Structure 1
Amino acid sequence: MFIQISTDNQVDSDNIRDARLEEQIRQRLARFEERITDVEVHVSDPQGREGGNGELRCTLEARMTGLHPVAVHEEGTSVDRAVLGAAKKAARALDHQLGKLEGRRTG
């Protein structure tokens, strides 16, 4: 499973943080590792540096072999919160999508 983390120009890039987040995403999506080919994570600051509520937005897209990609969004007050929240949402969405697929096969 290939994981790519990127940020917009309003969010500081940090290689150490990104490596830690990549490992945590891997852990949260581990049960799908056989099916996921790649995960794209993008963190942005929709309010920009001008102020706003300090919320960052994370969009996470997981691509699986033979299925449509799963995309989720999460907001958080830090990059870590936004990314980890999105990873949790992605795991639930993947469970749901694969559960529907299994239901079709057995039903």
Structure 2
Amino acid sequence: MTIQINTDKTITGEKRSSDFFTAQISKELQRFESHISRIEVHLKDENGKKDGFNDISCLLEARLEGRQPIAVTNQANTIDLAVTGAIDKIKSALDTIVGKIQKH
């Protein structure tokens, strides 16, 4: 499972935080690893560098083998909260999809 992290120009893509999020996503989605070929993470600040409420957006896109990709988005006050919320949402979606695959 390949994980690619993309950020907009207002969010710095430091190597340390990139490694942290890669490790977090890998750990949380480990049980779906056989179904996922790639995860793309898109982080952006909705209103630029200005402070705001729920202005950090995280879009997670999972490329599933033999199926259409699925995407979820989450907005929060910080990058950590946005990524964690998006991980929870994609785990729920993957539970549903993988459950349907295993029933057939």
Alpha-carbon distance between aligned partners in 2 of 1:65 and 1:72, rounded to the nearest angstrom: 18
2:17 maps to 17
Residue equivalent to 2:72: 72
Percent of aligned positions that are identical? 38
Over residues 41-91 of structure 1, what are the superposed CA-to-partner deviations in whole Å (9 max), with x where a residue is unaligned?
A: 000011112443252000000011111111000112111111121111111
Code of the residue aligned with 1:44 in structure 2: it is K
Shift of 1:37: 0.3
Structure 2 unaligned blocks of 5 or more: none
Report the equivalent of 1:44: 44
CA distance, structure 2, for counterparts of residue 56 and residue 86 of structure 1: 12
Residue type of the alignment partner of 2:17: R
CA RMSD after TM alignment = 1.4
Matched AA of 2:49: R
Name the aligned partner's letter for residue 58 of structure 1. Answer: C
Which 4+ stretches in 1 moved above 6 angstroms? none
Establish whether residue 57 from structure 1 lines up as the match of residue 69 from structure 2: no
TM-score, normalising length from structure 1?
0.89
Partners of 1:70 and 1:28 in 2: CA distance:
17
Q: 1:93 to 1:54 in 2, by over 3 A?
A: closer
Paired residues of 1:60 and 1:73 also in contact (CA < 8 A)? yes
Is the Cα–Cα contact under 8 Å of residues 47 and 53 in structure 1 kept in the other structure?
no
User: What number of residue pairs does the alignment pair up?
Assistant: 104
TM-score by length of 2: 0.91
Conserved? CA contact 2:54–2:75, under 8 Å: no
2:6 alignment counterpart: 6
Q: Aligned partners of 1:65, 1:57: CA distance in 2, in Å?
A: 26
